[in-house]
């Protein structure tokens, strides 16, 4: 019989992954209210925004206002792929930085305009310096299962890339099914390998939910020993450079499942739904939370 953790950490990625693919420009003050309400709900770790080219991802062009105006409780990440973004993150007071790279070259080229190797060569000295200076660095690994351009990705290539990041000293690896095509067998196998290979590094799973296998993949990763998950309030999300990818698994669905299985998250689901209500009128896709509200406090 498998064993499950007693506590799971949710890394809320709604303000970043959730909104980056959203066509409607969400006003900065609404994003700040959303983040504040997520913190009030008990979210301790969050991706707030990203420092990326405002031409490539206009929705994230207010990253500076977001990063400087939120309460820095717990780990509040800003995501970036390059030196310019890391410099901006530090100038604006970030203490925790998330860097990202794709395992497959074709995706990395579309996302960052570099090969995977070029990205890794740029990131190595920057990440090592961040670690030396006491910052918390999370490395986000995209296309860890499937690439929208190359198909299935070799798990050994994922482990090799993770090994490189770990050798630089990153404290966390967030390993992603970018286009939501992985199945629970693949999720268990990869996370079982990573948990055993990197016992001193936080291992986080990041699932998009394109084929509705996201929550099953989370359960498989839990069985493999993962106790950290990136999720997005309202199930928003997707990478603008990964065709066909849909939202992350909804935070409320994951928190609900975990609480029903007596696994704590420190998140208050009613307050979390209040955060979904803040963002819902500003996004183009409908968010379904009616059943949770019906059963509220029951
Ligand atoms: P480029 O055009 O090759 O680079 O883009 P560049 O150096 O010529 O820069 C273009 C412009 O952007 C310049 O401005 C730079 O200064 C500026 P201009 O001179 O034209 O006015 N710039 C920046 N501005 C702010 N912050 C920066 C930055 N860097 C350059 N950091 C670049 C290369 C990487 C910039 C571009 O490709 C880019 O911004 N890509 C970001 C793509 C992105 O945000 N994707 C989504 C996030 S990853 C993701 O969602 C996956 C994840 O969720 C896990 C998963 O699910 O797989 C994490
Ligand atoms: Mg993502």
Over the stretch 161-197, which tens digit does the pLDDT of each residue have?
A: 999 999 999 999 999 999 999 999 999 999 999 999 9
**CA–CA distance, 107 with 102 (Å, rounded to integer):** 6
Ligand 1 pocket member 21 (CB < 6 A): no
**CA–CA distance, 105 with 119 (Å, rounded to integer):** 10
pLDDT, residue 136, reads: 98
**CA–CA distance, 150 with 153 (Å, rounded to integer):** 8
pLDDT, residue 174, reads: 99
Which of 52, 142, 245 to mutate for ligand 1's pocket (most ligand atoms within 8 Å of CB)? Answer: 52
Average pLDDT of 52-71?
97
Which tens digit of pLDDT belongs to each residue from 256-294?
A: 999 999 999 999 999 999 999 999 999 998 898 878 877
239 is catalytic: yes
**CA–CA distance, 194 with 103 (Å, rounded to integer):** 15
Ligand 1 pocket member 66 (CB < 6 A): no
**CA–CA distance, 76 with 161 (Å, rounded to integer):** 24
Domains of the chain, each with CATH number or no CATH: 9-297 (3.20.20.70)
**Among residues of the chain, what percentage have pLDDT more than 90?**
93
Separation in Å, CA 119 to CA 6, 81, 114, 132: 37, 8, 6, 20
Ligand 1 pocket member 140 (CB < 6 A): yes
What does pTM read for this prediction? 0.97
């Amino acid at each position: 019989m498998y064993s499950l953790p007693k506590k799971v950490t949710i890394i809320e990625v709604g303000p970043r992954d959730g909104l980056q693919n959203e066509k409607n420009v969400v006003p900065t003050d609404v994003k700040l209210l959303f983040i504040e309400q997520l913190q009030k709900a008990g979210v301790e770790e969050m991706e707030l925004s990203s420092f990326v080219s405002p031409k490539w991802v206009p929705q994230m062009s207010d990253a500076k206002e977001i990063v400087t105006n939120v309460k820095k409780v717990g780990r509040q990440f800003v995501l970036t792929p390059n030196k310019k973004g890391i410099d901006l993150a530090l100038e604006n007071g970030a203490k925790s930085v998330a860097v990202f790279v794709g395992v497959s070259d074709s995706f990395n080229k579309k996302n960052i305009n570099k090969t995977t190797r070029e990205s890794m060569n740029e990131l190595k000295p920057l990440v090592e310096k961040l670690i030396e200076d006491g910052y918390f660095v999370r490395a986000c690994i995209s296309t860890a299962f499937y690439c929208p351009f190359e198909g299935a990705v070799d798990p050994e290539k994922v482990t090799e890339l993770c090994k490189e990041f770990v050798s630089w000293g990153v404290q966390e690896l967030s390993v992603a099914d970018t286009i939501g095509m992985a199945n629970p067998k693949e999720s268990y196998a990869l996370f079982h390998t990573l948990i055993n290979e990197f016992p001193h590094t936080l291992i986080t799973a990041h699932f998009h939910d394109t084929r509705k296998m996201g929550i099953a993949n989370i359960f498989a990763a839990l069985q493999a020993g993962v106790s950290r998950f990136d999720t997005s309030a309202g199930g928003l999300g997707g990478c603008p450079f990964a065709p066909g990818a849909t939202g992350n698994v909804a935070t409320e669905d994951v928190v609900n499942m975990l609480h029903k299985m007596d696994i704590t998250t420190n998140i208050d689901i009613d307050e979390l739904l209040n955060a979904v209500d803040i963002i819902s009128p500003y996004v183009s896709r409908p968010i379904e939370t009616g059943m949770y509200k019906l059963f509220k406090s029951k």
